[in-house]
Structure 1
Amino acid sequence: MSNKKKSITLTDIAAAAGVTPMTVSRVVNQNGYVSAETRENVLQVVKEMKYRPNGLARSLKLQKTKTIGLVLGDIANPFAAELARAVRDVTTRRGYNLFICISEHNPKEDVAAFDSLADHNIDGLIVATRSNHAGDKHLTEMIERGVRVVCIGRDFHHENADWVSADNHKGGFQATQHLIDFGHTKIGFIGTSLAGGASLKRFQGYLDALKNNDLEIEERFISGGTATEDAPGYSTEKLGYEAMKRLLVLPNRPTAIFARNDFTAIGAMSAIKESGLRIPQDVAIVGFDDIPMAVHTSPPLTTIRQPTRRQGSIAAESLLKRIESNEPLKREEKVLECELIVRDSTSTQVN
């Protein structure tokens, strides 16, 4: 004999509340007119009977699951958490649930995350990982199957996928120019290699600032691993520490560093201080993102502030617009301005 409890139905609630099943449906689904007194009565019965709506049945009827997928990269970086909060704030306010998947190490994780979310019949997908061939191909296939997609920062181009990003190239240029304005001519970059940074806009901004000021691009000043087509190449605190250690032992070493992100900069700062050097008197450093802890480092970190929450909010609103539209929408691209935030890690003029 089965001990499985019978599921409560709208008919059961209607009988207990003394109303029709249609009235219960209107209250539960929040559509159609029901008097305040009747609504309160039905909700009380729903609570007493511990009724839980059947989400699967509702999604089959409406052809929507009210769920959104979000794929993030380096979750150790506070940037990812801030982005997720911004997306969640919008989706929750609009009645959607948010599923989050992580893809940190290789394109296979990208594909696995996309497939996992697709298996849950998500209504749309926000992707905030770095572009790679396998992942981009999979995204294209998902769009052609009808999944709505918006990318944050990822270099993915499809006429039916929106894109939002900070102006990473301009931010990288500003960071490097700031160091040049303080008199630095030997400026290193931590976060990629010269060969692997072709698609990294912050790095390209760094290179362009050097060229614009007739400064030599020294490959030995560029440290931090490689970013190939088959690897996202995220830049971490550990990478920043190890790369800075390598730069510090160079003859005629850099006097200033532009780190790919604040997390990487914090690792580099640890290596500088561990070596007995001072920031910024011996080595100046600039990060990128302006994560909350940037103002609490010692000394406080000069950085490029990117509008993280705005990117997440815009991406979520764009995706919901696509989901709720009955007409096909053209691709929209939005590039958001960054801001140089000057703190004590660059406050000394070079002689």
Structure 2
Amino acid sequence: MAVTIQEVARAARVSTSTVSNVLNGRHGRMLPATKLRVEETIARLGYRPNRAARQLRTGKLQMLGLVVPSVANPFWGTFAHLVESIALKSGIRVLLCNSERDAARESEYLEELWADGISGVLLCSSLPSIAHVQPFLERGMTIVAFDRTSQLGDPALINISVDNSLGARLATNHLLELGHRRLAFVSGQVTSVNRQERLDGFLRTMDRAGLPADPALIYRDGGGEGPGEFDGAEVGRAAARELLGRPAPPTAIVAINDMFAIGVCAGVRDAGLEVGRDVSVVGFDDIALADLTFPALTTVRQPLAEMAEATVEYLLRGTSARAAHSVLMRPELVVRASTGPPAGSA
């Protein structure tokens, strides 16, 4: 059984308000001996303040929940670190959960977070439907959805994302301007809003250039969301091997994210070809590894620090239940050595 504040007060021979004052740092008129006795009693009994009760009493968040697909992808590890750093400046801690983009698992995490008194959650799944969060919104939970745009029929909450379609257009136009005409697109299963927007941006850009994408060069295999998050590099590697082994292989490949792109680069080398000379490769996210690969990876950069600031700010405001809309931030193409003109075009 959890130790209560009343039990601490009785054991320390003080009032519950005195224990509360110690817990909240109000020591101004308290005798040092009293403060010490209360602190020793708290430690001896193993008392932990009830976060839910404290939040209801003060009206302030004490801890945020952060639900990401998987920190196995460095993008999400970096994002989690940024969110935690920003939240800590406001005296708020962050509890991290990995959902693997599974709606049932997300619901379980939300239920556990709510039961533990955590009423503010940053949800980073980008699932096509987030109807499963509606019951939690109705209870009073504040949820901000990251990495997705608002979809028809969504619950009323804030969605914050980079403009994924624009990012894919920037990547595709860059390759077209270099002279490439046989472009491939590599992804795992396209089962999230952000992935669908990136694929749509690629396809529309090819259509506008009068070069409808060859269906044989759209790689969307590799299993479900697990491989998409955990083994993206291996899926990218397998995709490159398969695409480059076809009778009319691509000269350039757009990958759904940087982990896939790093795998694609490995697959290009497996085929005895050179990245940036024989086959150009573009990623998406600009993770820390992108500039450390050889050759350095051309990619679409997300303004991750600004996005993290915005998500925490909205979450602390508690505005998610006021209106359903999307906040879109502009991506930036970062050109490095993994892209160049088609071989023999000079």
Relative to the length of structure 1, the TM-score reads: 0.82
- What is aligned with 2:235? 239
- What is aligned with 1:127? 123
- What is aligned with 1:9? 8
- State the shift of 1:103 in Å: 1.5
Q: 1:114 to 1:314 in 2, by over 3 A?
A: same
- State the shift of 1:329 in Å: 3.4
The question of 1:167 aligning with 2:163 is answered: yes
In the alignment, is the contact (CA less than 8 A) between 2:149 and 2:327 conserved in 1? no
The one of 3, 21, 45 equivalent to 1:26 is 21
Query: Which aligned segments of 4 or more residues in structure 1 are displaced greater than 4 angstroms?
Result: 10-15, 20-24, 38-53, 59-65, 155-159, 192-199
The question of 1:287 aligning with 2:272 is answered: no
In structure 1, how many angstroms separate the alpha carbons of the residues matched to 2:194 and 2:67?
23
The question of 1:108 aligning with 2:104 is answered: yes
- What is aligned with 1:315? 311
- Unpaired runs of 5+ residues, structure 1, are none
Query: Which 10-residue stretch deviates more, 187-196 or 99-108?
Result: 187-196
Map 1:123-272 → 2, pairs under 5 A = 123-133=119-129, 136-157=130-151, 158=154, 160-192=156-188, 200-225=196-221, 234=228, 236-272=232-268
Amino acid at match of 1:225: D
In structure 2, how many angstroms separate the alpha carbons of the residues matched to 1:332 and 1:42?
52
Relative to the length of structure 2, the TM-score reads: 0.83
In the alignment, is the contact (CA less than 8 A) between 1:27 and 1:42 conserved in 2? no
- Unpaired runs of 5+ residues, structure 2, are none
Alignment root-mean-square deviation, CA: 3.3
- Secondary structure at 2:318's aligned position in 1? helix
Query: Which 10-residue stretch deviates more, 249-258 or 238-247?
Result: 238-247
The one of 66, 69, 75 equivalent to 1:73 is 69
- State the shift of 1:256 in Å: 0.2
Amino acid at match of 1:266: I
In the alignment, is the contact (CA less than 8 A) between 2:126 and 2:192 conserved in 1? no
The question of 1:329 aligning with 2:322 is answered: yes
- What is aligned with 2:331? 338
In the alignment, is the contact (CA less than 8 A) between 1:82 and 1:309 conserved in 2? no
Q: 1:23 to 1:114 in 2, by over 3 A?
A: closer
In structure 1, how many angstroms separate the alpha carbons of the residues matched to 2:134 and 2:337?
45
- Secondary structure at 2:114's aligned position in 1? helix
- Secondary structure at 1:79's aligned position in 2? helix
- Identity over aligned pairs, percent: 28
Q: Cα deviation per residue 1:217-260 (whole Å; 9 max; x = unaligned)?
A: 100011032899xx688361121111111101111100000000
